[in-house]
Amino acid sequence: MCGIFGVVSQKPLQLDIETYTQALSHRGPDDYGIHQDKYSSLGHRRLSIIDLSGSKQPIYNEDRSKCIIFNGEIYNFQELRKELLSKGHRFSTNGDTETILHGFEEWGSKCVDRLRGMFAFAIWDLNRKKLFIARDRLGIKPLFFAQHQDRLYFASEMKAILADPSFPRQINELALTSYFSYSYIPAPLTIFSDIHKLEPGHTITWEDGRCRKEKFWDLQFTPDHGKSESYYMDTFMGLLQEAVELRMTSEVPLGAFLSGGIDSSAIVALMSKASADPVNTFCVGFGGNTGGYLDERGYASQVAERYDTAHQNYEVDMTSDGLMEKIVRAFDEPFADDSTIPSYFVCKAAKENVTVALSGLGGDEIFGGYERYLGFKLRGLYNKVPSFVRSNIIAKIVARLPERADGHYTINHMKRFVRSSELAADRCYLSYLSILKDNLRRELFADRRRFSGYHSPCDDIFLQHFNSDNVEGDINSLDRALYCDMKTYLPEDILAVTDRLSMHHSLEVRVPFIDHKLLEFCATIPVDIRMKGFQKKYLLKKAVRPLLPKEVIDHRKQGFIGPMTQWLKHDLKPYVLDTLTEKNLGKHGLLDFATVNKVLDEHFSGKEIHDTLIWSLLIFQKWFDMYIEDGV
């Protein structure tokens, strides 16, 4: 795992490449390297995992006409290396980076089709003055790019691009609308108008000052109803075991996150089967007033005991000095998924013991593990209730219900379900995803007319995926919701958290559930087998039941989040009130203070739960202070 940065231009460049690359030093504290010629400057920061004494980047081909900088891991590089050697390519290193470069020489841009792993890389052709950059199929590794002043910039994180003091920092208002709607900014948008995310499964070729972007992979949901449940279960477990074992290759200490949920517990079980030594495992819990939050550390301990892991428990301290600043600095843009808090601490704990950790991320998106998937299926039954009863009795009763005092989301989810389920399938699911009710969406911004113009293009980013031809089945198929999440929420929220906060601590995280071969197989499993009836993750639970304690499989899902509702009412309340003042909001004038004040009153009184929105407001205000006012 590493950090990459580069600039190419048709005009001669004069650039202090080391300054830009230094902005990524946390991603690669072990080594750095640069390439500079008249029209390019490339920089690399290395976190050494494989071929520790070699593979210093940039790496050149035999005649030094091409060079590569690379972030990620290629798990099938040994077999590709053998094939390339047989074709006459000569290698000077033993790592995976050089395999990509020779693969590009042999297969051109189609080399990405041969790679199994996570990657973001750039290959510069010195003779043709041509750049090729690529991001892996699922977006496990990030890649940002920007065109400015006859230059093309690219980087693992935006902070490297922003190290150019002349680079504009204009806020992208469509991105801002998306952020307050969903708590993160989906690709290709970023908070900056001139910087973009390269979408997963895409490449860019730059030549003669022009960029050509191409898609090289996408997931196809094509259910095969001709196979038995046992076939799907056995094949899936074989592929998952393979994916785990591929990701255990390392020349540095390795471990795993163990939250106590099914996904991470299954990964630890399979790692233990494949390892002669005890697996290092790490878990976090929460102190302070946690209300109805379910602490899963006990379930993690059961798994650790069964497999005799070297297990360590840690407790999150929300009062940690500078925590919010560190989170904002990790992302370079507003990002308000509150899983950042436990993720920050579990990565910090793991790095004290290992350099590589495996994670159970991805199981929910494959097998239907979120409450919103259950709600999407239930809406069919709910809409059979007579309309008069739904609108005049159920909706009115539910709307008046106070939120639970312990901060649990039961009532909140019920309200969202009732107000959304009568909508068309695509709009219904979009409403499940949004953190804003329609009235708040209209009222949140100070200039309501201007920002109302962004609502439709913001929605279209998600609706295009929900309605994609890549999913077989009618508009009510749950596979549409799963595909939509895999194109948006998975890469730009869940995987973004994992990458930025692990790299903040110079830790590499690997995600076996998001192996593309495994996903391609799972997309052939009929959705009513993956999620049978109203049993979330039915097939996965059945498949791993022999491996895990009954209590781990059958307990209520918590998710890797913190008790934010209670934190905002208690531990963080003084900070909230000091930050979201009329004076502070007036610095940018983007948000309506009266609406923000109403949101706070409703949350503190228990009338509504607005934890994600309030956290989004706090994060945005901190980001604005750091990146716009102070220009970090």
Q: What is the pLDDT of residues 474-492, one digit of tens each?
A: 999 999 999 999 999 999 9
CA distances from 23 to 19, 356, 381, 428, 632 (A): 7, 22, 53, 42, 11
Tokens at 159, concatenated: 């902070």
CA–CA separation, 64 and 73 (whole Å): 23
CA–CA separation, 460 and 470 (whole Å): 17
Q: Which of 203, 199, 210 is nearest to 147 (CA)?
A: 210
CA–CA separation, 42 and 28 (whole Å): 15
Q: What residues act catalytically?
A: 2
Indicate the annotated binding residues. 96, 284, 359-360
Q: How many helices (H) and strands (E) does the chain have?
A: 31, 17
State the chain's mean pLDDT as an integer. Answer: 92
Domain ranges of the chain: 2-215, 229-367+491-554
Indicate the annotated binding residues for L-glutamine. 96
| pLDDT (tens digit per residue) in 261-289 | 999 999 999 999 999 999 999 998 876 55
| Rounded mean pLDDT, 405-409 | 66
| pLDDT (tens digit per residue) in 573-619 | 999 999 999 999 999 999 999 999 999 999 888 888 899 999 999 99
Q: Are 375 and 512 in contact (CB under 8 A)?
A: no
| pLDDT (tens digit per residue) in 130-169 | 999 999 999 999 999 999 989 999 999 999 999 999 999 9
Radius of gyration (Cα) for the chain, nearest Å?
24
Q: Are 360 and 257 in contact (CB under 8 A)?
A: yes
Confidence of residue 310 (pLDDT cuts 50, 70, 90): very high
From the options 3.60.20.10, 3.40.50.10490, 3.40.50.2300, 3.40.50.720, give the CATH code of 2-215: 3.60.20.10
pTM score: 0.95
Question: pLDDT at residue 456 above 70?
Answer: yes
CA–CA separation, 514 and 141 (whole Å): 12
CA–CA separation, 194 and 82 (whole Å): 42
Instruction: Please give the pLDDT value at position 290.
Output: 53
Confidence of residue 369 (pLDDT cuts 50, 70, 90): very high
Domain 229-367+491-554 has CATH 3.40.50.620: yes
| Rounded mean pLDDT, 531-538 | 91
Adjacency order of strands within the sheet including 66-74: 59-60, 66-74, 117-125, 130-135, 202-207, 210-215
Please report, as a single letter, which amino acid is at residue 65: S
The per-residue DSSP string of 413-438 comes to: HHHHHHHHTTS-HHHHHHHHH-SS-H
DSSP helix/strand/coil, 179: helix
DSSP helix/strand/coil, 98: helix
Question: pLDDT at residue 292 above 50?
Answer: no
Instruction: Please give the pLDDT value at position 291.
Output: 47
DSSP H stretches of helix in 108-228: 158-161, 173-182
Sequence-distant (≥ 6) Cβ neighbours of residue 148 within 8 angstroms: 164, 167, 168, 194
Question: pLDDT at residue 312 above 90?
Answer: yes
Q: Which of 53, 385, 465 is nearest to 219 (CA)?
A: 465
CA distances from 108 to 211, 558, 583 (A): 17, 45, 55
Indicate the annotated binding residues for ATP. 284, 359-360
DSSP helix/strand/coil, 519: helix
